[in-house]
Amino acid sequence: MSSIATVRPKTHDTGALATLRARWRLVSLLAVVAMWVLVWAFTRGEQTLAIQASDRTDIHGWFLARTTAIENADNVVTSLLAALSSGMDATLLFLQHLFTVPEYPRPYPQIGWLGALAIASLAAYAVAGWRQVLVVAPSFLLFGLLGYYEDAMDLLIVTGVAVAVALLIGIPLGIWMGHSKIVAAVVTPVLDVMQTMPSFVYLLPFSILFGIGPAVAALVTLVYAMPPSVRVTAYAVRGVSTTTLEATDSLGQNRWQRLRHVELPMAKRTIIVGVNQTTMAALAMATIAAYVDGPGLGQPVLEGLRRGQLGKSFVAGLAIVIMAIMLDRTTTAASTRSDRVARGDRDTGRVRTVALVAGTVVTLAAVYLSNSYTWANQFPEGVNIGDPISTKVDDLADWLRSDLSAITTGVQETFTLYFLNPVQDLVANSPWFVAGLAILAIAWIVGGVRALGAAAVCLAGIYWLDLWNNAMITLTAVLVATVVVMILGLAVGVWMGRSQVVDRSVRPVLDAAQTMPPFVYLIPVLVLFDANRFTAMVAGIIYAAPVAIKLIADGVSGVSATTVEAAESAGSSRLQMITKVQLPMARGSILLAANQGLLYVLSMVVIGGMVGAGALGFDIVYGFRQANFAGKGLAAGITIVLIGIMLDRITTYGARRAQSPGRATVRRKRLSLSRAET
């Protein structure tokens, strides 16, 4: 009894303090914004540091000189890079000669569609079970039916080679990181930055180092795709039961035996989850690598977008979606299956051996046929469903734009006029130091001193890179789109978090949506809306919504059942339950959702540079097209990275902060509830 008496006032105090602090934070945020608006009203349009798209400054010239110097340099590093590039080229060309590119004097590639289909099916059976054959074989047929068999194979080759190398480096590195705290401390921040960098940003520096073509596509893909496998492997190795490690150590195993017999088998399943993530990241990057002339399905998508042939992009995008589903299903199935394989189930083991032998024979036959007969080599042209789909989509787009333009344009204009433009006016048309100070103040209020420091460094960098105004325009697009993402996330996330039935039906859709390469999201949006910044934002919203929804749903459903029960028995209404109990307790998850939302939107808004989103994305695209603007493009890329790091740091520190006082608030609530109960 006495202990309760002493504890209660203390808890109450910290709770009240936390509430006060939260209130204070909100009030000061509003105050900062109000001040900003006030100052803006008098200084609007002054010192915005805006420059024309065709303008270049000294710093951009400096970058250009550096890139030229790198391109023309002749030293150990460059020859090493050249060797790397030509090695990759040779590997890719070898595989392309096998599957997609005829090697003179042969008119066709060595292995045609039938052989490839058989090989893929056999591989799927071997790593993921017979069910996956039912996913893989139809997928291959669909690539052919859609008319993109060669492009699909090229994309698979680039993705496959990149994934193989990424895993070859990433898994050992992850194991090392899992074993050594020092390595982890060194590698983790690098991975953090790599994973906050939008995929698009990787392209320009790689094309400066390696030129354009298949090799650079594979290299940039493997670098972009490696972090998840490193991180997940380290996590998996660290997660191996310490009791089991201790017990097996006590038997006198050496380090190699420990790794081989204990750690790897026990971490295997999780490591394959990392393989899945790396594969999906590689697919995303390999499609975007069409910008640097990477072969594969990204090419027709990009071509369609450039020429306004949406139908073409759509069909190629469909093939990408099919490939994404195929790869995701197969690697996921491989992960769940690995346990059963490790157990070597005896009966199925024998069936499996027989099936594998039979499958190998059939595959060899198919490979032979596809090598010798045209019908098995070239996918029959007669059965094409891609062209009709393409035409239908073009018609649909025309219809939407003409007959339905009242709605589509209406939505677009309302949003732009009443929401996007005012925000952009404030952020981008304030004098640079006013906007900068306001952002610093907001960073400080949300994330504390460390966020303030990070924001200051990033903003200084952005200022120095001479792209301040464009950065503010891009930042606006990101913020506005993220607001919509969060509204969606809260609505759907709370709904899912409160009902298992809803969760179970919505989650698979979100999971599927998350596996799609970002490139694909642009296409349907472009069918609806003209190419401009609004379109890119919509694509960004669709791209970012799933991850935000899932995080919020997990946060809400993670609120302990006892707390919910206590609140219920205290007579909370549904709204009270959501606003007073579930959302406050899920605060950390909500900020994490905002964090992920911001980064996802950022990467999409940047890709949108080529469909009229302008600002930094455009600067990068222009950097590819015009050699003279490579310096400016590079500066734009770094600016985007700085924006990403700034947003990431502010929200991460904010989320960390929200977690501790949040708990105190909740404790106080629970206490007052139990009091109300008695």
Q: Counting contacts by CB under 8 A, is residue 266 touching another protein?
A: yes
Binding status of residue 2 toward another protein by CB under 8 A? no
Distances (CA, A) of 33 to 40, 309, 463, 616, 642: 10, 43, 21, 25, 23
CB 10 within 8 A of CB 400: no
Give the shortest CB-268-to-another protein separation in angstroms: 8
Q: Which is nearer to another protein, 14 or 253 (CB)?
A: 253
- 348 near another protein (CB under 8 A): no
Of the candidate spans 237-245, 325-333, 395-403, 480-488, the one that interacts with another protein by CB under 8 A turns out to be: 237-245
Separation between Cα atoms, residue 462 and residue 494, nearest integer Å = 37
Is residue 287 a contact partner of residue 225, using CB atoms and an 8 Å limit?
no
Any contact of residue 182 with another protein (CB under 8 A)? Answer: no
What are the tokens at 441? 């103040």
Among 14, 110, 248, 563, binds another protein (CB under 8 A): 248
Asked if residue 205 binds another protein (CB under 8 A), the reply is no
Among 28, 253, 371, 499, binds another protein (CB under 8 A): 253
243 part of the interface to another protein, by CB under 8 A: yes
Q: Is 402 a residue that touches another protein (CB under 8 A)?
A: no
Per CB under 8 A, the list member of 9, 105, 189, 252 interacting with another protein is: 252
Backbone angles phi, psi at 295, to 5 degrees: -75, 160
Name the residue nearer to another protein (CB basis): 241 or 628.
241
Q: Which stretch binds another protein (CB under 8 A): 65-73, 239-247, 389-397, 480-488?
A: 239-247
266 vs 411, beta carbon nearer another protein: 266
* Buried/exposed code over 163-186 (b: 16+ C-beta within 10 A; e: otherwise): bebbbeebbebbbbbbbeeebbee
Structure tokens at 1: 């009894």
User: In the bound complex, what is the minimum distance in angstroms from residue 217's beta carbon to another protein?
Assistant: 38
Q: Which stretch binds another protein (CB under 8 A): 16-24, 185-193, 336-344, 490-498?
A: 336-344
Q: According to the binding rule CB under 8 A, does residue 259 interact with another protein? A: no
- Which of 86, 180, 244, 360 contacts another protein by CB under 8 A? 244
Among residues 75 and 250, whose Cβ is nearest to another protein?
250
> Vertex 439, ends 661 and 531: CA angle to 5°?
115
Nearest residue to 466 (alpha-carbon basis) of 40, 64, 41: 64
Nearer to another protein, 245 or 396 (CB): 245
Q: What angle do CA 509, 514, 516 make, to 5 degrees?
A: 105
CB atoms within 10 A of CB 401: 15
Please state whether the peptide bond connecting residue 105 to the residue before it is cis, i.e. omega within 30 degrees of 0. Answer: yes
Candidates 23-31, 142-150, 256-264, 591-599: pick the segment binding another protein (CB under 8 A).
Answer: 256-264
Q: Which stretch binds another protein (CB under 8 A): 122-130, 250-258, 376-384, 624-632?
A: 250-258
Over the window 288 to 327, marking each residue x when it contacts another protein by CB under 8 A and - when it does not, the resulting string is ----------------------------------------
Q: How many residues does the chain have?
A: 678
265 makes contact with another protein (CB under 8 A): yes
Task: Give dist(CA 636, CA 641) in Å, integer.
Answer: 9
Residue list 104-143, contact with another protein (CB under 8 A):
none
Using CB under 8 A as the binding rule, whether residue 238 contacts another protein is answered as no
483 binds another protein per the rule CB under 8 A = no
Binding region for another protein (CB under 8 A) out of 309-317, 337-345, 365-373, 377-385: 337-345
Q: Are 496 and 502 in contact (CB under 8 A)?
A: yes
Contact 282, 481 (CB under 8 A): no
- The residue assigned the tokens 């890119």 is 536
**Residue 349 beta carbon to another protein: minimum distance, rounded to whole angstroms:** 13
Q: Looking at 3, 52, 72, 250, which residue binds another protein (CB under 8 A)? A: 250
Both tokens assigned to 49: 């540091």
The verdict on 508 binding another protein (CB under 8 A) reads no
Q: Kindly indicate which of the ranges 51-59, 66-74, 257-265, 389-397 contains the residues binding another protein, using the contact rule CB under 8 A.
A: 257-265
CA–CA distance, 323 with 543 (Å, rounded to integer): 18
User: Which H/E stretch holds residue 112?
Assistant: none
Q: Using the rule CB under 8 A, which residue among 257, 309, 348, 514 binds another protein? A: 257
203's tokens: 């392209």
CA 528 to centroid of chain Cα atoms: 24
Q: In Å, how far are 59, 288, 407, 545, 616 from 633, measured between CA atoms?
A: 11, 17, 36, 29, 8
- Range in contact with another protein (rule: CB under 8 A) among 4-12, 135-143, 261-269, 297-305: 261-269
Q: Minimum distance from CB of 271 to another protein (Å)?
A: 13
**Is 261 an interacting residue with respect to another protein (CB under 8 A)?**
yes
Identity of residue 373: Y
Side-chain half-sphere CA neighbours of 441 within 13 A: 18
| Sequential DSSP letters for 168-209 | HHHHHHHHHHHH-HHHHHHHHHHHHHHHHS-HHHHHHHHHHH
Give residues in contact with another protein (CB under 8 A). 241, 243-254, 257, 261-262, 265-266, 339, 342-343
